[in-house]
Amino acid sequence: MNGSDFNKKIAFVTGASGGMGLRIARDLATAGAAVTLFDLKPAPEGFDASPGSARFVQGDLTDEASVARALAEIVTIHGRLDYLVNAAGVLWFDRDRSLLDIDLEVWDQVLAVNLKSVVHTVRHAVPAMRLAGGGAMVHFSSIQCLRGDDHPQDAYQASKAGIVALSKSIAIQFAAEGIRSNVIFPGPTLSPMQARWEGREDVQAQVAARVPLGRIGTTRDMADACLFLLSDAASFITGTGLVVDGGITAMP
């Protein structure tokens, strides 16, 4: 991957107040991209965008008008958009459960945040990418949508599966315009979404023991995969998914 791939490129990253989104935004900015970070939570502290530039927009991904304004501002400032990263998502262990038991209001909320938000970002990113003559999108799914679970979070899994189908449709719809769309399937990753593991070395060791490579993933692992799919090194890759799980889904 050429280190100059991202110099002077324009990126929009959701879920960027922490975790994978923040790591991706930081790496893009460090590589010279101008990055807009978007999140419902407040701006992250101590964000260093050098040598690129960064701006933070606080907004609600489930509100299409909020997303539309943020992307319109990018076009006003930069004249185009090159990259879209959908890294936002919720996993509510205490409320998301089997479809037999889940409160359907929770179901609707999870799908709104995890899946409908992708509709909002893409429908306003595509016109901005057309101004650039093309672009690349990466959407974060999960290996959980590739398998069942005896401790189900059915709304989460259904929403993450929907992202995969949507990404394939996006890839085919806009391929002729030079717009690519791909998905990353993260495995267990140390991030704010898994705050329940913090300070629990025993639990982390148990999780790592189930990973063939013998460790839990990091936000760096996910950012590296994401920047590859955005880069020119992946210029012939679209409509597919990259599993980043240390080998878990390769096991029988």
Active site residues: 156
Cα angle 203, 207, 208 (rounded to 5 degrees) comes to 115
How far apart, in whole angstroms, are the C-alpha atoms of residue 140 and residue 2?
A: 23
For 39-63, letters b (16+ CB in 10 Å) and e give bbeeebeebebeebbbbbbebbbbe
For residue 37, give every residue at least 6 positions away whose Cβ sits within 8 Å of its Cβ, in sequence order, or none: 13, 16, 17, 21, 22, 25, 43, 44, 47, 54, 55, 56, 57
> Is the distance from CB of 185 to CB of 242 less than 8 angstroms?
yes
225: which residues sit within 8 A by CB, 6+ positions away? 184, 242, 244
3-state secondary structure 47-106: CCCCCCEEEEEECCCCCHHHHHHHHHHHHHHHCCCCEEEECCCCCCCCCCCCCCCCCHHH
Half-sphere exposure of residue 89: CA atoms within 13 angstroms, side-chain side: 29
Instruction: Identify whether the C-beta of residue 157 lies closer than 8 Å to the C-beta of residue 203.
Output: no
